[in-house]
Amino acid sequence: MPKAGSGLSLDGLGMPLWLVVELTYKCPLKCPWCSNPVDFNRYRNELTTEEWKAVLREGRRLGSLQLGFTGGEPMLRRDLEELVEEADGLGYYTNLITSGVGLNEKRLRALKKAGLKQIQLSIQACDQELNEKLVGLDVFAHKIAIARTIKAEGFPMVLNVPVSRYNIDHTAAFIELAADLGVEYVEFANLQYYNWALLNRAELLPTREQLARSEAEVKAARERLGKRLTIYYVVPDYHDNRPKACMNGWGSIHLTIAPDGTALPCQEARLIKEIEFPNVRHHALDWIWTRSPAFNQFRGESWMKEPCRSCSEKEKDFGGCRCQAYLMTGDAANTDPVCAKSPHRHLVDALISGAETRRDQKPLIMREGGYPRRTGAR
Amino acid sequence: MEAERRLRPEDVVELNPNYHFRWEEPQQAHVLLYPEGIVKLNQTAAAILEACTGAPSIADGTAELSRRYDKRNLGAEVLKFLEVAHAKGWIRVKS
Ligand SMILES: C[S@@+](CC[C@H](N)C(=O)[O-])C[C@H]1O[C@@H](n2cnc3c(N)ncnc32)[C@H](O)[C@@H]1O
Ligand code: SF4
Ligand code: SF4
């Protein structure tokens, strides 16, 4: 995902500068906040190697520059090296976004040879026990070992921490771990509450006090470590009173292709069931990006309602996130309810105070195929 | 935080190896690409980066710019931009 201070304020001249390819929804892990669709198991007709290559070529022709290989777990695709090589040849800056499962020294070397530029590795806890509780499998030792191998092979690396109530108190320990691993960047990504995270929201939302402590720890570490380690901190959405400038605007610089070839303005957008998103199997990417009704639905400002329409902030935040407006108000064209001016802001406030007062703990619903069940640890 | 000293004309600077600097035809601009980030550079910035990274020193790069654009006294402007680039981690001082 684009980081603050990087692509966010960029004028792409109408080009999809960021192309994200979700090679598969399959994944051996079961993160109960996974951003993949809750019914991910329904989408099994993944694009073939040749179909992905065509997407890469068309994307480059449209002006895409940054390319993210993600999923599910992209390492499950045996043709990843071949796709990276194709992408590098086309002139993309290639990023791999992985849990590390399926990654080994041999494949790292092949990826390096294919021209892979950067790896983002996710880590969910600083110890084996909590990590296993959160992802459902004993993979902590492997993650640490593979992080060291990634550095030994000379890749720049982002350590990604998906932040929830369960791991937020370990902020300082994560920073220490990142410094010890010698990574260039650590990203604390407070969870975004869509799909699996939405199912588990009441269990995952941190308290205000937890957030304040973690932010203070980040501030102290930035002062201490300076240029040695860059710390990105994706602020929690709900606790702000202005919405995030989601995706720099709908259909502005960001294009995601889902495993089955569905083209999306952001990774979560297919949860808006009223919109029919075009598929690269049936349409040229050029048409999808510039002309399709789905990509034009919330482009620019003409679709906005009040209070956004007459607000001076609309060029800065584009009215926030369409998916969040849809999930919380039932209409994707409404103002993001995170905004203090939204008539729905009380819904967000109720969630925040819910996190302060909650007493009973429920088990987490782990990401699995089939119908979501409460099977996780308490 | 280690005290950062200011850049000097005799310093040798190079591009951070994690950054890729190149011309991007569709944007009609030079861009810097790095882990999950893009920076589009204006002409002046691109010219300074191109001339000074890889030159035997900042002073040499500045002299090259003076010749190319037929302008004198560029030293202060070049150093000012390189300070910004250095602070952002785009370039580093070669030891
Ligand atoms: C969906 S994962 C796919 C790649 C790989 N399986 C992994 O987890 O690293 C992409 C990235 O999104 C992060 N992520 C997953 N669910 C999230 C959520 N609800 N909010 C914020 N980040 C999330 C993961 O930590 C990972 O860095
Ligand atoms: S977030 Fe977790 S469950 Fe989802 S794809 Fe990544 S590793 Fe798998
Ligand atoms: S009213 Fe709309 S445009 Fe104004 S700050 Fe809120 S979300 Fe942004």
Query: Which value does ipTM take for this structure?
Result: 0.84
Neighbours of B19 (CB within 10 A): 22
The upper half-sphere exposure of residue B30, i.e. CA atoms within 13 Å in the direction of its Cβ, equals 15
Ligand nearest to the CA of A139: 2
Q: Tell me how far apart the alpha carbons of residues A131 and A203 are, in angstroms, rounded to a whole number.
A: 16
- Helix, strand or coil, per DSSP, at residue A245: coil
Per residue in B40-82, pLDDT (tens digit) is: 999 999 999 999 998 999 999 999 999 998 888 888 899 999 9
The ligand 2 site (C-beta within 6 Å) comprises: A 27, 29-31, 34, 36, 71-73, 99, 367
Are the C-beta atoms of residues A17 and A11 closer than 8 Å to each other? no
User: Closest ligand 3 atom, CA of A340?
Assistant: 6
Q: What is the mean pLDDT of each run of 10 residues along chain A (378 residues)?
A: 40 86 96 95 93 98 96 97 98 97 97 97 97 96 97 96 97 97 95 94 93 96 91 90 91 96 96 96 97 95 94 92 95 96 95 84 86 62
Q: Does A219 touch chain B (CB under 8 A)?
A: no
Instruction: Tell me what percent of chain A is helix, strand and coil, each rounded to the nearest 5.
Output: 40, 15, 50
Longest dimension (CA), chain A: 56
To the nearest whole number, what is the mean pLDDT of chain B? Answer: 89
Sign of CA pseudo-dihedral A311, A307, A234, A108: negative
What residue type is A144 in one-letter code? Answer: I
DSSP assigned state of A234: E
Instruction: List all residues 6 or more positions away from A50 whose beta carbon is below 8 Å from its beta carbon.
Output: none
DSSP single-letter state for residue A374: B
Q: Which of A36, A8, A167, A173 is nearest to A97 (CA)?
A: A36
Three-state DSSP class for A365? strand
pLDDT at A374: 66
CA–CA distance, A156 with B16 (Å, rounded to integer) = 11
**A297 in contact with ligand 1, CB cutoff 6 A:** no
Q: What residue type is A241 in one-letter code?
A: N
B18 and A CB contact within 8 Å = yes
Residue of chain B nearest A2, judged by CA positions = B36
pTM summary value: 0.92
Report which of residues A372 and B34 the model is more confident about: B34
Residue A263 in contact with residue A287, Cβ under 8 Å? no
* Percent above pLDDT 70 for chain B: 95
pLDDT at A373: 66
The whole-angstrom distance between B36's CA and the closest CA on chain A is 6
What backbone phi and psi angles, to 5 degrees, belong to A241? -110, 5
Which one, of A370, A360, A362, A313, lies nearest residue A336 by Cα?
A313
Is the beta carbon of A200 within 6 A of some atom in ligand 1?
no
CA distance A275 to A289: 15
**CA atoms of A376 and A363, how far apart (whole Å):** 5
Strand order of the β-sheet with A230-234 is A230-234, A185-190, A157-163, A118-122, A93-98, A66-70, A18-22, A254-257, A263-264
Contacts 24+ apart (CB under 8 A), B72-76: B75/B9
Spatial distance between the Cα atoms of B8 and A119, rounded to a whole number of angstroms? 34
pLDDT of residue A7: 36
The candidate with the shortest Cα–Cα distance to A71, out of A23, A38, A104, is A23
Tokens coding A112: 């390096």
A2, A11, A223 ranked by CB distance to B36: nearest: A2
Nearest to residue A22, comparing CAs of A243, A266, A304? A266
A65 touches chain B (CB under 8 A): yes
Q: Is A366 in the pocket of ligand 1 (CB under 6 A)?
A: no
Whether B2 shows a pLDDT value over 60: the answer reads: no
Distance CA A55, CA A59 (A): 6
Provide φ and ψ at B29, rounded to 5°.
Answer: -160, 160
Q: What is the CA radius of gyration of chain A?
A: 20
